[in-house]
Copies of this chain bind each other. A is one copy, B any other.
Amino acid sequence: MPGSGPAYLAGLFGDREVAAALDGPAQLAAMLRAEAALAAAQAELGLIPATAAEAVAALRPPEPGELAAATERDGTPVPGLVAALRAQLPGPQAQWLHYGATSQDIQDTALALCLVEVLRVLEDRLQRLGDALAALAEAHAGTLVAARTRFRTATPTSFGLTAAVWLTPLVRLRAQLAELRAEVLPVSLGGASGTQAALGPRAREVEQRMATRLGLPVAPLPWHARREGVAEAASWLVRLSGALGKIAQDVVLLSQSEVGELRLAGAGGSSTMPNKQNPTAAEAVVALARANAQQVGTLFEAQLHAHARDGAAWQAEWLALPEICIRTGAALRHALALVEGLEVRVERMRANLDAGQGLWAAEAASFALAAHMPRAEAQALVKAACREALDSGESLTAVLRRRTDAPLDWAALADAAAQLGEARAMIERAVAANAALPVARP
């Protein structure tokens, strides 16, 4: 809403491109596109004069603020918009504007158009982020790093695999875009109560031609009162911001002072501590993702849309959906900058791995020992050796060599690089899945 956010937060939480696809001028322009497509379709079928359709196509929308009072009165900007547009038209043509449509038809069609544009902006960034992550995954396929499970150092992994884990949900999300566009956001043209009665006997043809002109699909029947498409689009957005939140949270944690395995470009300063570099963008992505996950329920609940049109349920969508779009856009913008500016500190990763007396070898050692003794005995032996290593400061393999004469390949056990299992193949599969996605239209 106007005034709801201080301008100094525009860079942190705002998104110029996404906002431009959804702001007042954009939505009014889309409403006008909807009216023009309707009029053109009706003119093609001889239902209204061709000159009227041409006149509608030449209209210009009013300033959004001019419609505030009418929108507050009517609960939708469309009656005010139609009145303002009719005032621009000569009398005989004014009547053919909005002919047979209801406000919700125009506003929901405009929403579909705006969301398609939002998806285009996001798809482009998603593709770039996917490519950046794929490159990161390949570049660090062999970079050893300690896996942390439940905030405890576990076995070695590669940083490339971490990047591939970040990438994989984005591949799924990108793959769903085509269906989102084809199924979820159709043209809306139901007329007053969803029967298309005022549109006349060729209503379906009008709807189909209008949809074709706008590049939108048609639905079997109007979506005035069934909002599953809005809910599905919202769910896609919030799954995306959640997937970005995972990346960002890992970045915060891997860059924390005590870990220090990642450094961020452009990290923010402190007003009083000259030594600090703060992970601002990563924090923002986490905050945006969590705020989205709370707000999105509004869109699921808005499916409880009473009767043939429910003003409160409909308005609730407008409160939640544009924000979720913008938050997702801002999160994606920050995530892209984060990943592209990531400094991977390979030596620190290695040093951290080695810092724990090589306890990361515990699992591998217990598997290796199990070839020479019962597994339970092997696990008990390793557990005791872990404790001794922690107490004495020796490496786990040194302690184990003293405690057992089982003929293990001690060099391999001490070599974290030998413990990466399928990491490289996994990375290749993730990268290939990303590469197989269709390229976004420019």
Contacts and interface: CB of A to CB of B under 8 A. Distances in A.
Interface stretch (A2-10, A38-46, A123-131, A402-410): A2-10
A429 B221 CA distance: 8
A88 interface: no
Given A1-B10, A24-B6, A271 B307 contact: no
A116 interface: no
Contacts of A195: 147, 155-158, 161, 419-423, 426
Contacts of A82: 271
A380 to B, nearest CB: 8
Interface string A11-48: 11110100110111001100000000000000000000
A164 B326 CA distance: 34
Contacts of A27: 6
A152 B274 CA distance: 12
B7 A2 contact: yes
Nearest to A74: B268
Contacts of A266: 73
A58 interface: no
A220 interface: yes
A143 to B, nearest CB: 13
A363 B274 contact: yes
A157 B284 CA distance: 26
Nearest to A19: B3
Interface centre among A152, A168, A232, A249 (most CB of B within 10 A): A152
Contacts of A375: 94-95
Contact of A78 (B198, B271, B426): B271
Contact of A14 (B4, B77, B298): B4
Nearest to A97: B375
Contact of A193 (B157, B258, B430): B157
A51 B41 CA distance: 73
A120 interface: no
B239 A307 contact: no
B191 A272 contact: yes
Contacts of A281: 72
B1 A363 contact: no
B7 A63 contact: yes
A426 B223 CA distance: 12
How many copies, total?
Answer: 4
A256 to B, nearest CB: 4
A74 to B, nearest CB: 4
A276 interface: yes
Contacts of A283: 75, 150, 310-312, 315
A7 B24 contact: yes
Given A150-B309, A277-B152, A300-B238, A272 B363 contact: yes
A263 to B, nearest CB: 11
A340 interface: no
Given A149-B192, A155-B273, A295-B291, A77 B8 contact: yes
A302 to B, nearest CB: 8
Contacts of A271: 74, 76, 78-79, 82, 98, 101-103, 106
Contact of A246 (B103, B275, B286, B305): B305
Interface string A307-350: 11111111110111011001100000000000000000000000
A433 B220 CA distance: 8
Interface string A141-175: 00000111111111111100110111011001100
Contacts of A258: 153, 256, 258-259, 352
Contacts of A366: 274
A109 interface: no
A11 B74 CA distance: 11
Contact of A10 (B2, B13, B152): B2
A293 B289 contact: no
Contacts of A380: 274
A9 B275 contact: no
9 contacts: A13-B315, A73-B266, A75-B268, A151-B256, A154-B276, A195-B419, A242-B303, A283-B310, A293-B301
